[in-house]
């Protein structure tokens, strides 16, 4: 994090400038055996494509509310930063009936139908694959996102005082989110080059912080393991060693 970083988008831009090739998010699904590792550059490319989808295809504007009905997952992390880049307010677990856009995984599609606006569905299958059969009434993210542009330019740059995130009853402006993430990283002793392995979900601030924002603010990376409960202690220790983990959030 640089002293000039005031928004989550600034944090990602600083990470790109510092070392675009280093890992940023490593995701494990221990129910399927999937492992995905995204470098800063690859992650930023997904963010740019998703932000372009939001702004140009879906017509989202700063301050619009997006109900994010997704678990802890690398694609959820992409959506969180894409919302930040466009100024859209990500409401994690939010009420789709009160949002202009809903983004949902396969187990929450019926709930998401309450949204009267744009509906985006994610299969959450390995490697970001499409749905075998597209769900009616939804845009399949895996179909819509890849063709979007690799560079994003906001029509209106979000500022640090703009609303950015709602999670677990807490509301954050962009600036508050950055400050809180940096404070959490400092409290953990997390510094540039660190590797934080998180077993937490994304349904509250501690989970979002450990699983994305604190590592991003520190110039570190995250090993996201939301299904680590399926592993025994020996397997977790072996993973921590192979992934060069320096910090753990349980």
Average pLDDT over residues 48-75: 98
Average pLDDT over residues 89-106: 98
| Prediction pTM value | 0.97
- Read off the pLDDT of residues 22-33 as tens digits, 9 standing for 90 and up: 999 999 999 999
Average pLDDT over residues 155-180: 97
Q: How confident is the model at residue 4 (pLDDT cuts 50, 70, 90)?
A: confident
What pLDDT is attached to residue 158?
95
User: Is residue 1's pLDDT more than 80?
Assistant: no
Contact 20, 171 (CB under 8 A): no
Euclidean distance between CA atoms 142 and 109, whole angstroms? 16
Annotated domain spans of the chain: 8-249
Q: Find out if CATH 3.30.70.1710 is the number for domain 8-249.
A: no
Ranges assigned E (strand) in the chain: 23-29, 34-39, 65-69, 89-92, 101-104, 118-121, 139-140, 163-167, 170-173, 195-198, 221-224, 247-249
What pLDDT is attached to residue 3?
75
- Read off the pLDDT of residues 199-233 as tens digits, 9 standing for 90 and up: 999 999 999 999 999 999 999 999 999 999 999 99
Please, what is the average pLDDT of the chain? 97
What pLDDT is attached to residue 162?
98
């Amino acid at each position: 994090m640089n002293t000039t970083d005031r928004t989550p988008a600034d944090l990602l831009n600083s990470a790109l400038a510092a070392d675009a090739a280093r890992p940023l998010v490593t995701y494990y699904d221990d129910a399927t055996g999937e492992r995905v590792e995204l470098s800063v550059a690859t992650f930023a490319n997904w963010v740019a494509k998703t932000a372009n989808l939001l702004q140009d295809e879906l017509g989202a504007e700063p301050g619009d509310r997006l109900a994010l009905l997704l678990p802890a997952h690398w694609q959820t992390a992409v959506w969180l930063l894409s919302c930040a880049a466009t100024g859209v307010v990500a409401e994690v677990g939010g009420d789709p009936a009160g949002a202009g856009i809903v983004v949902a995984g396969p187990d929450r599609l019926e709930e998401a139908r309450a949204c009267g606006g744009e509906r985006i569905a994610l299969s959450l299958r390995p490697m970001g694959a499409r749905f075998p059969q597209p769900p009616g009434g939804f845009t399949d993210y895996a179909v819509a996102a890849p063709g979007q542009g690799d560079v994003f330019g906001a029509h209106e740059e979000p500022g640090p005082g703009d609303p950015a995130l709602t999670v677990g009853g807490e509301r954050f402006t962009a600036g508050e989110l950055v400050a809180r993430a940096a404070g959490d990283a400092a409290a953990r002793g997390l510094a540039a080059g660190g590797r934080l392995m998180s077993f937490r979900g994304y349904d509250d601030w501690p989970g979002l912080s450990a699983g994305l924002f604190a590592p991003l603010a520190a110039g570190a990376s995250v090993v996201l393991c939301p299904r680590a409960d399926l592993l025994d202690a020996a397997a977790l220790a072996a993973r921590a060693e192979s992934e060069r983990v320096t910090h753990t959030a349980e």
